């Protein structure tokens, strides 16, 4: 009986944790990041602030948990798009992954902005075991692993390392080691150039830093075309939308 009671209590606790994070998300969408406070969440839950602290001991821990949820959700969307194109060409898989990333981000602007500008952004970097850090790593791996597979099966053009600044060469070698040598430094340079451009463009779009462009989808597609050129892949336009 004690085991069953313990299991039941744990289920109730997990359901409560999920509800807390769900309400935090609702507050974020409705009121922005400043509206996500422990007291606001507790009020929506019908409990006191001190009672909520039994589930998340601090505002920072609540932010970390909510952010991890967003990364996991986005990762799942990208993986689904990749897997739907599993029998297709590497180019189509990569393009589908990138387009799914953008679609989620522009459909969930509040969540995407929170992921990269939330109050504790940066502090999680100190703890590689945190749920947020692990979830962010999983998100980045969806793109990274496809580039690794490209390099393993067909490779792509890379720069001559000797022509790069010494400090950049050192950092690329360190990165290659950190990624278990899955990409040599020169291939890592291509991967990082692609990822920074893709990721940076999307962040600028979601954060409304490119409002002078009236059609950002076509600009994003131009970015994908350039990425395909860098990776020696054949670019294909996005499928026509059906109403």
Residues 16 and 124 reside in one and the same domain: no
Tokens representing 109 are 């602007």
Tens of pLDDT, residues 154-190: 999 999 999 999 999 999 999 999 999 999 999 999 9
User: Is 238 domain-assigned?
Assistant: no
Domain boundaries, position 23: 1-57
User: Is 206 domain-assigned?
Assistant: yes
**Hey, which of 6-15, 177-186, 210-219 has the most confident mean pLDDT?**
177-186
Tokens representing 174 are 């360190």
User: Among 30, 57, 84, where does a domain finish?
Assistant: 57
Residue 241 pLDDT grade (very low, low, confident, very high; cuts 50, 70, 90)? low
Q: Is the pLDDT of residue 4 over 70?
A: no
Residue 100's H or E segment, with its range, is: helix 90-107
Helices (H) and strands (E) in the chain, counts: 10, 0
Q: Is the pLDDT of residue 121 over 90?
A: no
Going through 141-243 in order, the beta strands assigned E by DSSP cover: none
pTM of the predicted model as reported, rounded to 2 decimal places: 0.89
CB-based contact 113:34 (threshold 8 Å): no
Cα-based torsion angle of the residue sequence 47, 49, 53, 59 in order, rounded to the nearest 10 degrees: 130
**Nearest 5°: phi and psi at 54?**
-70, -20
Q: Which residues contact 125 (CB under 8 A, 6 or more apart)?
A: 133
Angle (CA) 26 27 32, round 5°: 120
Which CATH number characterizes residue 126's domain?
1.10.357.10
């Amino acid at each position: 009986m004690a085991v069953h009671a313990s299991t039941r209590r744990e289920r109730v606790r997990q359901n409560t944790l999920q509800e807390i994070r769900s309400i935090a998300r609702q507050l974020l969408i409705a009121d922005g990041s400043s509206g996500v406070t422990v007291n606001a969440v507790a009020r929506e839950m019908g409990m006191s602030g001190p009672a909520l602290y039994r589930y998340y001991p601090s505002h920072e821990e609540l932010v970390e948990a909510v952010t991890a949820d967003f990364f996991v959700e986005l990762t799942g969307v990208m993986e689904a798009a990749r897997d739907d194109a599993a029998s297709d060409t590497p180019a189509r898989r990569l393009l589908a992954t990138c387009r799914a990333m953008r679609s989620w981000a522009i459909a969930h602007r509040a969540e995407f902005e929170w992921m990269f500008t939330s109050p504790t952004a940066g502090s999680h970097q100190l703890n590689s075991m945190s749920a947020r850090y692990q979830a962010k790593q999983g998100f980045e791996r969806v793109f990274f692993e496809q580039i690794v597979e490209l390099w393993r099966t067909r490779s792509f053009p890379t720069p001559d390392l000797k022509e790069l600044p010494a400090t950049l060469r050192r950092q690329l070698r360190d990165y290659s080691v950190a990624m278990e040598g899955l990409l040599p430094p020169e291939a890592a340079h291509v991967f990082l150039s692609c990822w920074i451009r893709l990721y940076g463009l999307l962040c600028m779009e979601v954060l409304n830093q490119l409002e002078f462009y009236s059609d950002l989808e076509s600009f994003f597609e131009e970015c994908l075309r350039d990425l395909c050129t860098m990776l020696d892949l054949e670019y294909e336009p996005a499928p026509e939308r059906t109403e």
